[in-house]
Amino acid sequence: MSVQKDPYSSVEAVRELTNIDLNMAKMPKDGSIDAKTFPSFKAMVQMFREHPPSPGPRLKTKWSRYVKMRDRHTHKIRVYKPDDLAEGPLVVLICGGGFCMGHYSHFGSYSRAIASLYGATVVNISYRLAPEFKFPMAPNDVWDSITWMVEPENAKELGLDLDKGFIVGGMSAGANLSAFQISGMWLNVPLLFVDEIVPDDQRELWIAREQNAEAMIINKGSMDFILSSYNPYVTSPDFSPANQQGGHTGLPTHIQVCGQDPLRDDDLIYERILRKHGVKTKLDVYPGVPHAGPYFFPTLPIAVKHNMDVLKGFGWFFGKDASEEQYQLALKIMTMPT
């Protein structure tokens, strides 16, 4: 049996991922983005709180309901399901935002595309935000929402057949909150390590915090703000799967990584750890773009590739493929307003 080659096993190869994507390099010159005036993460949190997302249009394939947490607090979840689907697999998507901002509507376009392409019930959930609600409130809320969904009565209401598939995923903070759940996992640019818990045999490859300290979207200042606001117990398994006793989940994991992201090496290292534990992994890397860059800059060619990778990644989980025409239609859905 052939051994899979690891293209990111050297410091030199990892460092090269920061070299800016050529199409992104053109953006400051053509006026479509001014890197120097791009808002700080703290400013983005403030804008989110002052201007929360609107509910969005009502669709036949979408509805919302409230779910009760362990402390009787209620959260709204949003459900996306094809009209003609009786029972299908469950996909749970968790919003990102550095644990300080985020809304269940943020993945609406992704959810519609996945539901229509694979005949799945896709549920978007949220969680209480820092700094008002610190760790472990967010993972507790996520766990409570998922536990509610899989109870037989609620699974029937949602039209779930968990034997057909049960995938949990998210972007950024949402990916961190997906990484300890017992299911197949889609992890898009997650935070997985801090200095105290980086494995000794991987430490020389954990260089992105310093190399990308001045990157766009998330930088060193952003990381300091996030960790101070969220205040996690960094050795807890609810903070990172790297803290799990007795090994790592054996379920398939799709990890997406951005080259200019301070979190880049968290993700490359975690994929390597999973692979060494015999876990089936799928790794997609986007050199030269910042944290969640394909989401923030959807017109970039690399963003189109990223979105196609997301769609095909869910097909990889389900063991399904689609026609090129179906993929192109789903890509259009992914770029529609939520």
Q: What is the pLDDT of residue 2?
A: 47
Nearest to 287 by CA among 306, 309, 308: 306
* Gyration radius of the chain's alpha carbons: 19
Q: What DSSP element (H or E) covers 124? A: strand 121-125
Q: What is the pLDDT of residue 58?
A: 46
Q: Is 2 inside any structural domain? A: no
- CB burial string 241-265: b at 16+ within 10 A, e below: bbbeeeebbebbbbbbbbbbbbbbb
pLDDT in tens, 279-312: 999 999 999 999 999 999 999 999 999 999 999 9
Q: Is 32 inside any structural domain? A: yes
SS3 state at 326: helix
Q: Is 6 inside any structural domain? A: no
- Residue 246, C-beta contacts closer than 8 angstroms, at least 6 positions apart: none
Q: What is the CATH number of the domain that holds 199?
A: 3.40.50.1820
- Look up the domain containing 189 and give its range: 11-334
Q: Is 156 inside any structural domain? A: yes
**Given the DSSP bridges, would you call strands 90-94 and 121-125 parallel, antiparallel or unpaired?**
parallel
Q: Is 239 inside any structural domain? A: yes
pLDDT tier at 259 (50, 70, 90 boundaries)?
A: very high
CA dist., res. 164 & res. 160, Å (int): 9
**Assessment of whether the complete model's pTM goes beyond 0.75:** yes
Q: Is 326 inside any structural domain? A: yes
pLDDT tier at 38 (50, 70, 90 boundaries)?
A: confident
Q: Is 303 inside any structural domain? A: yes
Q: What total number of domains does the chain contain?
A: 1
Q: Is 57 inside any structural domain? A: yes
Q: What is the pLDDT of residue 4?
A: 65
